[in-house]
């Protein structure tokens, strides 16, 4: 029973919009979708009809990677 409840929780994703994802990553919306020279590691967009959303967990993982890479450059 607990395993079934856990798998239901794992399947649910928190989706956020482009503006929120860009703000969390300290990027412009164009930077988030890769329309700039820096096309580094970016979260994958999830399309729901005309809306483009991002998985919050994936955005936070990208943020951790970007911060780690910035730390290595110093």
pLDDT, tens digit (0-9, with 9 covering 90-100), for 13-46: 889 999 999 999 988 888 887 765 555 678 889 9
User: What does the domain layout of the chain look like in residue ranges?
Assistant: 14-73
- DSSP, res 41: S
How far apart CA 69 and CA 63 sit, in angstroms, is 10
Q: Which of 31, 36, 58 is nearest to 45 (CA)?
A: 58
Mean pLDDT of the 49-62 span:
92
pTM above 0.75, yes or no: no
Higher pLDDT, 64 or 11: 64
Asked whether the beta carbons of 58 and 32 are under 8 A apart, the reply is: no
């Amino acid at each position: 029973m607990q395993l079934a409840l856990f798998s239901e929780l794992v399947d649910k994703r928190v989706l956020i919009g482009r503006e929120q994802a860009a703000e969390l990553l300290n990027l412009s919306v164009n930077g988030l979708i890769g329309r700039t020279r820096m096309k580094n590691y970016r979260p994958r967009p999830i399309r729901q009809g005309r809306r483009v959303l991002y998985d919050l967990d994936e955005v936070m993982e990208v943020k951790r990677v970007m911060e780690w890479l910035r730390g290595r450059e110093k």
